[in-house]
C-alpha cells in the first residue's frame, strides 16, 4: 500500500510529516510521489496565515474525487489547521477518514494504526523493507508548542504550551538520522532556544548534538531573541560543527509595533544582540521574519522596518503580509485594506532582495565549503545555497569528474551571486583527470581553469 504526503507551512510541519511518514513506513506502507498511485493521502496543514489554510482546504476538497476513484482509499488531515478547525473539517468534508490536530501528532502512530487496521481494501500490503530517509539534512524536533502570546499568532492556541523532549530522546533521534545518512541536523522548535529539560538548557543541547559521531553540522530554527544568551553565542562561536548562520525573527523595526505585537524586546536590543553576535562571528549569516501591515502600523513605523533591514544587512528575510487570525488579540483591531498591505509587502521585498544580493556579491571570489545535498546543489555552513556549475562543460572536455555524492563536503569557488543563491565551481582538487595521459594532465588543468 502506498501513501502520499502533502505538507503546508513551516519546517516544523516538514519535520512532523517526516515523523508521520516514518510511522507509516514502519507499518509497511511505501511512499509515492504520485498521488494517483497512492491509497493513503496525508495532508499536513498550516493555519499561521489564512492563505495557507485556504490552499489546504481547496486541496482537501479535490480529494473527494480522488477517493471515489478507488475503494479503500483514505484521506488523513493533520496539523495546525486540523487542530483549529477539526469540527468544521469533518462537517464540510465528511469523506475525511482521520483528523489529527497538531497537539496530537505524538499520538499519530496509534491513531494511524487503528485507521489502517480498519482495512476495507483487498490490496496486498507491500512489506518492502521500509524506505529510509536519506536526506543529508534532517530535522529533529526538540520541543513542541509555544509559551509566548504574540498578538498576531495562532500557534500557541493550535500547538499548546511548550513541551520539551528529553536529551536522551533527542540524541537517540539524531543517531537514527545519522545512521540513515544525515550529516546535518536542524533542531526545531517554535522558540527553540527556550529549551529546558531537567538540568539541560539549549546551549548544552547544541554542544551535545554537535559532539555526536557523524554530525558535521548543527543548525536550529526558530530561536527567539529573548533566549539568545551568551552561552548559546559562545557555543556557536566555539564549536565548529555549530553553523554560524542564524534565522532570528524580528517581525518589525518599530518599537511601537513590537510592543503591539507583544514581542518582549526593542529594536535597540535586537540590534545590540546582532552586533554582539557579529563581533563573536564576523562571517555569521543572518535571516529573519518580518510582518508588514500589522493593524495600526503607520507609514513611518513601516519605514522603521525598512531602515532596520538597511542597518543590519540581513542575508535573507521572509516578509509576511499580516493575516488576521480569529481568536488572537490582534484580530480585535481594525486591519488595513489588502492593497496597502500588498504595497508595503512589495516595497519590503524589493529592499530585502537588493540587500540579499549585496550580501552574496561580497562572497564572489571566495572559496566555500559546501555540503552537497543533491545533484550539483548544496549549502555553506552559514546556510547560503550554492549551485555547483561547470561540471557538464568539464565532462564534455573529457575530464573524469569525481562523483560528488550527497553528504560530501566539497570546496567551491564562488563565481556568481543572485539574491537567493550563489553559483560556483569545484576547486581543482575535486576534479580528477586520471583518464588523461600523464603528460596531458597539466594542460587539462589549465584548460579547465
Ligand atoms: N515561533 C517563531 C518565532 O516566533 O519566531 C515563528 C513561528 S511562525 C510559524 C513563523 C512566522 O510567521 C513568524 O515569525 C511571523 O513572522 C509569521 N506570522 C505568524 N503569524 C502571522 C500572521 N498572523 N500574519 C502574518 N505573519 C504571521
Ligand atoms: Fe507565534 Fe510568537 Fe510563539 Fe513564535 S513566539 S510561535 S510568533 S506566539
**95 C-alpha to center of ligand 2: Å?**
33
Grid cell, residue 418, equals: 543572485
List Cα–Cα distances, 291 to 78, 243, 257, 436, in angstroms: 26, 26, 10, 57
Ligand 2 in reach of 146 Cβ (< 6 A): yes
- Confidence class for position 151, pLDDT limits 50, 70, 90: very high
The pLDDT value given to residue 404: 79
The residue nearest atom 22 of ligand 1, judged by CA position, is 323
Grid cell, residue 96, equals: 475525511
Strands 400-401 and 431-432: antiparallel
Grid cell, residue 189, equals: 522548535
**Angle at Cα 244 formed by Cα 239 and Cα 246, nearest 5°?**
130
Ligand 1 in reach of 251 Cβ (< 6 A): yes
For the CA of 153, the nearest atom of ligand 2: 1
- Identify the CA nearest to 415 among candidates 395, 376, 389, 392: 389
Spatial separation of the C-alpha atoms in residues 370 and 158, rounded to whole Å: 37
**25 C-alpha to center of ligand 1: Å?**
32
Q: Is 236 helix (H, G, I), strand (E, B) or coil?
A: helix
Q: Which of 155, 227, 252, 265 to mutate to test the pocket of ligand 2 (most atoms within 8 A of CB)?
A: 155
Ligand closest in space to the Cα of 248 = 1
**116 C-alpha to center of ligand 2: Å?**
35
Spatial separation of the C-alpha atoms in residues 414 and 227, rounded to whole Å: 34
Ligand 1 in reach of 399 Cβ (< 6 A): no
**CA 368 from centre of chain:** 22
DSSP 242: B
* HSE-CB of 430 using CA atoms within 13 angstroms: 23
The residue nearest atom 4 of ligand 2, judged by CA position, is 190
Ligand 1 in reach of 10 Cβ (< 6 A): yes
- Identify the CA nearest to 410 among candidates 185, 187, 183, 245: 183
**Residue 30 dihedral angles phi and psi, to the nearest 5°:** -125, 135
Ligand 1 in reach of 145 Cβ (< 6 A): no
- Confidence class for position 397, pLDDT limits 50, 70, 90: low
Grid cell, residue 407, equals: 553528504
- Confidence class for position 122, pLDDT limits 50, 70, 90: very low
pLDDT (mean) for 160-183: 95
**Residue 373 dihedral angles phi and psi, to the nearest 5°:** -110, -35
Q: What is the pTM of this model?
A: 0.85
CB 202 within 8 A of CB 232: yes
How many C-beta atoms surround the C-beta of residue 436 within 10 A?
A: 16
Ligand 1 in reach of 8 Cβ (< 6 A): no
Beta bridge partner(s), residue 138: 185
pLDDT in tens, 262-314: 999 999 999 999 999 999 999 999 999 999 999 999 999 999 999 999 999 99
CB 252 within 8 A of CB 290: yes
- Confidence class for position 398, pLDDT limits 50, 70, 90: low
- Confidence class for position 444, pLDDT limits 50, 70, 90: very low
Examine the pLDDT at 449 and tell me if it is beyond 80. Answer: no
pLDDT in tens, 18-71: 999 999 998 889 999 999 999 999 999 999 999 999 999 999 999 999 999 998
CB 359 within 8 A of CB 351: no
- Identify the CA nearest to 220 among candidates 181, 197, 248: 248
The residue nearest atom 11 of ligand 1, judged by CA position, is 289
Examine the pLDDT at 402 and tell me if it is beyond 80. Answer: no
How many C-beta atoms surround the C-beta of residue 192 within 10 A?
A: 24
Spatial separation of the C-alpha atoms in residues 119 and 110, rounded to whole Å: 15
Ligand 1 in reach of 248 Cβ (< 6 A): no
CB 349 within 8 A of CB 341: no
Examine the pLDDT at 121 and tell me if it is beyond 60. Answer: no
What is the residue whose three cell numbers read 544582540?
A: 273
What is the residue whose three cell numbers read 494517483?
A: 36
Task: Write b or e for each residue in 384-411: b if 16 or more Cβ atoms lie within 10 A of its Cβ, otherwise e.
Answer: bbbbbbbbeebeeeebebeebebbebbe
Amino acid at each position: 500500500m502506498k501513501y502520499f504526503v502533502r505538507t503546508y507551512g513551516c519546517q516544523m510541519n516538514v519535520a512532523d510529516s517526516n515523523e508521520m511518514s516514518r510511522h507509516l513506513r514502519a507499518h509497511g506502507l511505501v511512499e509515492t510521489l504520485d498521488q494517483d498511485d497512492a491509497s493513503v493521502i496525508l495532508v499536513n496543514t498550516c493555519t499561521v496565515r489564512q492563505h495557507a489554510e485556504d490552499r489546504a482546504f481547496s486541496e482537501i476538497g479535490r480529494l473527494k474525487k480522488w477517493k471515489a476513484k478507488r475503494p479503500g482509499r483514505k484521506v488523513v488531515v493533520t496539523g495546525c489547521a486540523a487542530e483549529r478547525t477539526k469540527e468544521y473539517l469533518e462537517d464540510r468534508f465528511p469523506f475525511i477518514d482521520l483528523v489529527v490536530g497538531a497537539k496530537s501528532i505524538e499520538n499519530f502512530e496509534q491513531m494511524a494504526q487503528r485507521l489502517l487496521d480498519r482495512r476495507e481494501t483487498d490490496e496486498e500490503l507491500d512489506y518492502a523493507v521500509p524506505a529510509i530517509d536519506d536526506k543529508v539534512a534532517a530535522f529533529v524536533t526538540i520541543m513542541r508548542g509555544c509559551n509566548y502570546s504574540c498578538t498576531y499568532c495562532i500557534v500557541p492556541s493550535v500547538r499548546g504550551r511548550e513541551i520539551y523532549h528529553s536529551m536522551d530522546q533527542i540524541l537517540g533521534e539524531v543517531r537514527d538520522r545519522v545512521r540513515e545518512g544525515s550529516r546535518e541536523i536542524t533542531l526545531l522548535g517554535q522558540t527553540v532556544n527556550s529549551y529546558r529539560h531537567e538540568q539541560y538548557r539549549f546551549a548544552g543541547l547544541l554542544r551535545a548534538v554537535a559532539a555526536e559521531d557523524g554530525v558535521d553540522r548543527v543548525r536550529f530554527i526558530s530561536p527567539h531573541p529573548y533566549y539568545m544568551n551568551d552561552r548559546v553565542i559562545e557555543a556557536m562561536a566555539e564549536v565548529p560543527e555549530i553553523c554560524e548562520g542564524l534565522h532570528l525573527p524580528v517581525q518589525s523595526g518599530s518599537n511601537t509595533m513590537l510592543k503591539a505585537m507583544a514581542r518582549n524586546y526593542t529594536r535597540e536590543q535586537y540590534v545590540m544582540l546582532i552586533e554582539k553576535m557579529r563581533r563573536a562571528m564576523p562571517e555569521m549569516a543572518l535571516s529573519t521574519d518580518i510582518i508588514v501591515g500589522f493593524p495600526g502600523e503607520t507609514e513611518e513605523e513601516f519605514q522603521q522596518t525598512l531602515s532596520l533591514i538597511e542597518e543590519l544587512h540581513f542575508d535573507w528575510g521572509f516578509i509576511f503580509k499580516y493575516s488576521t487570525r480569529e481568536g488572537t488579540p490582534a484580530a480585535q483591531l481594525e486591519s488595513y485594506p489588502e492593497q496597502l498591505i500588498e504595497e508595503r509587502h512589495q516595497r519590503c521585498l524589493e529592499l530585502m532582495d537588493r540587500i540579499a544580493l549585496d550580501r552574496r556579491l561580497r562572497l564572489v571570489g571566495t572559496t566555500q565549503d559546501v555540503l552537497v545535498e543533491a545533484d550539483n546543489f548544496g549549502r555553506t555552513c552559514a546556510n547560503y545555497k550554492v549551485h555547483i556549475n561547470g561540471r557538464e562543460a568539464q565532462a564534455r572536455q573529457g575530464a573524469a569528474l569525481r562523483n560528488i555524492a550527497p553528504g560530501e563536503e566539497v570546496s567551491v569557488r564562488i563565481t556568481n551571486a543572485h539574491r537567493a543563491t550563489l553559483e560556483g565551481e569545484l576547486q581543482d582538487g575535486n576534479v580528477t583527470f586520471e583518464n588523461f595521459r600523464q603528460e596531458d594532465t597539466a594542460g587539462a588543468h589549465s584548460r579547465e581553469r
